[in-house]
Structure 1
């Protein structure tokens, strides 16, 4: 593992620990079209064993748990200990014994091969230093004939909030998520999946609108509850004021009254592991 990859894993692990408490209030509604699209494309069946990689606070895992029922099981994994703790606590409160969560690196899954009927990775692959390794692991843990459903952010130009990355990079050499939008390019996921041996691949795009009540909410979503939370935590107040001002200026074309309606795009892919494996 290279020094760069170790740095990226550290940024993601501790950055999402910082963002965990604010993630759902700031992003659940915005990401709902992607999650619903993923679940519609690959609906869990009663009794199935489901893996949810980069599960976060369990938004997809809990929806899947409802559909597989008590005869099935859902395992959610995430690199962030705080995210896992939040999801585990909710599962306990809800009394859901068939959904469990564990801290795990998506590129090195501590799961036996041929264990799952369905695997999800909802808006997590872009954050991984080696997404090919993550897809290879997903291929390994799926049973023959098992389905993989992945969603990533789409084209950079179609995601209004994407300006947050250069704004943060101008203040600190964060190098966060260098492949973030490359995976959302037309056919990129399909090519990766094909190269790894998946078949019956389908890819589609979901256009969305990210709505924020005001500039404060838009800034919190961009800086506090998302992928640059680690860098944000290290900014002093003058830098925070500067990046907030630059971000609000960059997203001003989508201002409506006091709020914002920014474009967003997701790329969703469904693939299957061949039934006849050597």
Structure 2
């Protein structure tokens, strides 16, 4: 495992409990959109959920596909522990690097929500997820683009941290050459945070800032927090971030 993947796994180990409590309820509309998009008319084979985290997709997939094998995969041991608790015999959960799936899975479907943007090579990842599909199988991926909103908590965090290079996003559809693109669009839902401090602390302790905190230390995070709160509005904060949904059929 590379240093980056090791740090990523550790960050989500530390974040897992809080992620389940804070972010899973707020991300639920996008999970629902992904599961609905995968449809019900699929070939034989399992449905895979790479980067499953605590596996919230399962609560929607299990009743939709009661007789089908469902498999969640995640790098983080703590995420896997919580996912197995949620699965309670309804699905298999595997601790594994989801950046490259074994085509031997011969899957009917692949669903992944908010994992793709964390991979070291998202284009290679999405191609790997597509390549495990049987003919007629479907892949639905929802991820946070580099610019999910122009104003709001995410946008302010991008401002104080610095936005990353978004050119990787342009490589995703070309990486899916040969696929039938059924949907490629931005999907937005409202999200509410008690206040700016609650969101920043959740992002730091239970979300995407945790890996950065491990890499740069407490003083760095304290400075980010100070600058973030200095520019944030007071009180409850509602925003409408846009995630990108890509759905393809093999």
Q: Report the TM-score when normalising by structure 2.
A: 0.86
Q: Identify if the C-alpha distance between structure 1 residues 50 and 44 changes in structure 2 by more than 3 Å, giving closer, same or farther.
A: farther
For residues 205 and 38 of structure 2, what CA distance do their matches in structure 1 show?
Answer: 31
Which secondary structure does the structure 1 equivalent of 2:186 belong to? strand
1:29 and 1:36 map into 2 onto residues whose CA distance is 11
Q: Which residue of 2 aligns with 1:263?
A: 240
Structural RMSD (CA) = 2.7
The aligned counterpart of 2:119 is 128
Q: Distance in 1 between matches of 2:101 and 2:168?
A: 21
Aligned length: 246
- The C-alpha deviation readout for 1:21-58, integer Å capped at 9, x for no partner, is 10021112321221121122113469862100100000
Query: Could you say which residue in structure 2 is the equivalent of 1:105?
Result: 97
Q: Are residues 120 and 157 of structure 1, via their aligned partners in 2, closer, same or farther at CA, if it must alter by over 3 Å?
A: closer
CA distance in 2, matches of 1:183, 1:138: 17
Question: Any stretches of 5+ residues in structure 2 without a counterpart?
Answer: none
Shift of 1:178: 4.8
Q: Secondary structure at the match of 1:121?
A: strand
Partner of 2:141: 150
TM-score w.r.t. structure 1 length? Answer: 0.78
Instruction: Note the C-alpha offset of 1:162.
Output: 4.2
Q: State the alpha-carbon separation in 2 of the partners of residues 264 and 60 from structure 1.
A: 20
SS in 2 for 1:112: helix
Q: Distance in 1 between matches of 2:108 and 2:80?
A: 22
Larger displacement relative to structure 2 (39-48 or 77-86):
39-48
Choose from 202, 214, 228 the match for 2:209.
228
Cα 1:126–1:239 change in 2 (3 A) is closer
Q: Aligned equivalents of 2:97 and 2:79: distance in 1?
A: 13
Moved more, 118-127 or 160-169: 160-169
The SS at the match of 2:142 is strand
Map of 1:140 onto structure 2: 131
Question: Counterpart of 2:32?
Answer: 36
Q: Say yes or no: does 1:203 pair with 2:200.
A: no
Assess, with a 3 A threshold, how the Cα gap between structure 1 residues 122 and 35 changes in structure 2: closer, same or farther. Answer: same
Q: Give the unaligned 5+ runs of structure 1.
A: 170-176, 274-278
